[in-house]
Each structure stands twice: as structure tokens, then as C-alpha cells.
């Protein structure tokens, strides 16, 4: 599959009360089609966050934003633009990183989490020198991460709300 140059087209979710920031790598094809994060129906992100927040599983973008913001969670991606083949993180080349300063200066972020190891590696390479903040890698919620059951994901991801 050929790589195409893609640009992140939707805004981060955050407000002044956001305490934790979750970073993905770059929106999947489905997310780019729906114009919002974790748009693939098999991705467990929204179900997992709802479970951990004790919140109904959000269906609409406004519901997803409300759940995040009411629970002090900011959401964005490490990459602003890149060359990518479909949704394959392993195909990413020519990265232009997102400018995280817009979130970090306007919120109360104390911890940053990566949705998967690729997001962590890219953050460490491109953003950590500017932010001077560590990132904690969590197992990916992607359906490709079949090694992690929902319960195992929940155990790993629960620290977001224990730490904040």
C-alpha cells in the first residue's frame, strides 16, 4: 500500500480543568472519515474510558467530549501530519509533530499517557524535549492489539484515574 501525506484535521479535546492527557499516534482512516478520535467501531477506547469513568458509552462526538472533559481528560495525537499507508502506524514517515504547548499552557495537565508504544516512542522523540514531561505508555486500545482482553486493558488503564 502506498503512503499518502495526511494532515490531522480535528482539534484536541481539553479545557482548563484537564488533568491528564492521552495521546494517540495519528487518526486512523475511520477516524479521519468520522472527523473524531477512535472512530473505528472495533476500537475499545470509548468503551474502556466509559467503563473506567463509570459513564454510559458515548455515541456522539458531543457525548464523547463531555465524558472526557467532565472526567479531567484531554485527548490529542502526537502527529500533526505525516506520510502513512492507511492506518498503519508502522508505515509512518516524515512526521510533523503536534504542538502540545497549546494544551499544556491552558490546562492543569499533570500526567501524559500514550495509547500504545508507538505514540510513546514518537512523543519521546518529538515532544519530550520541549515539554520536559514523561509519558506513560499504556497498551493500545486498537483491535489489532488482540493480546489484551478488555479486562486486561481496564487493569492497565485504571491508573489514569488513580493518579489524577
pLDDT tens figures, 83-128: 888 877 778 889 999 999 989 999 999 999 999 999 999 999 999 9
Whether residue 138 has pLDDT greater than 70: yes
Residue 43's pLDDT is 94
Q: Where in 29-148 does DSSP place strands (E)?
A: 73-77, 79-84, 93-97, 111-115, 135-138
pLDDT tens figures, 6-65: 889 999 999 999 999 999 999 888 998 999 999 998 999 999 999 999 999 999 999 999
pTM over the 0.75 mark = yes
With a pLDDT cut of 70, the percent of the chain lying above it is 98
Confirm if 1 and 64 have CB atoms less than 8 A apart.
no
> In which order are the strands placed within the sheet that holds 4-7?
4-7, 79-84, 93-97
What architecture does CATH give domain 4-163? 3-Layer(aba) Sandwich (3.40)
Q: Measuring CA to CA, which residue among 84, 102, 88 is closest to residue 2?
A: 84
Residue 12's pLDDT is 97
Confirm if 14 and 24 have CB atoms less than 8 A apart.
no
Rounded to an integer, what distance in angstroms lies between the CA atom of residue 67 and that of residue 73?
8
Confirm if 74 and 20 have CB atoms less than 8 A apart.
yes
Half-sphere exposure of 91 (CA within 13 A, CB side): 13
Residue 101's pLDDT is 94
Using 50, 70 and 90 to split pLDDT, how confident is the model at 1? Answer: low
Residue 143's pLDDT is 84
Amino acid at each position: 500500500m502506498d503512503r499518502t501525506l495526511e494532515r490531522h484535521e480535528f482539534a484536541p479535546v481539553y479545557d482548563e480543568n484537564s488533568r491528564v492527557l492521552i495521546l494517540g499516534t495519528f487518526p486512523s482512516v475511520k477516524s479521519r472519515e468520522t472527523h473524531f478520535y477512535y472512530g473505528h467501531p472495533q476500537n475499545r477506547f470509548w468503551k474502556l474510558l466509559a467503563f473506567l469513568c463509570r459513564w454510559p458509552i458515548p455515541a456522539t462526538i458531543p457525548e464523547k467530549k463531555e465524558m472526557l472533559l467532565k472526567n479531567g481528560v484531554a485527548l490529542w495525537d502526537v502527529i500533526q501530519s505525516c506520510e502513512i499507508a492507511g492506518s498503519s502506524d508502522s508505515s509512518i514517515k516524515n512526521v510533523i509533530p503536534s504542538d502540545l504547548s497549546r494544551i499544556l499552557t491552558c490546562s492543569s495537565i499533570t500526567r501524559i499517557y500514550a495509547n500504545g508504544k508507538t505514540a510513546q516512542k514518537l512523543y519521546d522523540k518529538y515532544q519530550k524535549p520541549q515539554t520536559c514531561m514523561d509519558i506513560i505508555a499504556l497498551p493500545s486500545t486498537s483491535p489489532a492489539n488482540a493480546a489484551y482482553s478488555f479486562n486486561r486493558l481496564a487493569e492497565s488503564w485504571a491508573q489514569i484515574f488513580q493518579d489524577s
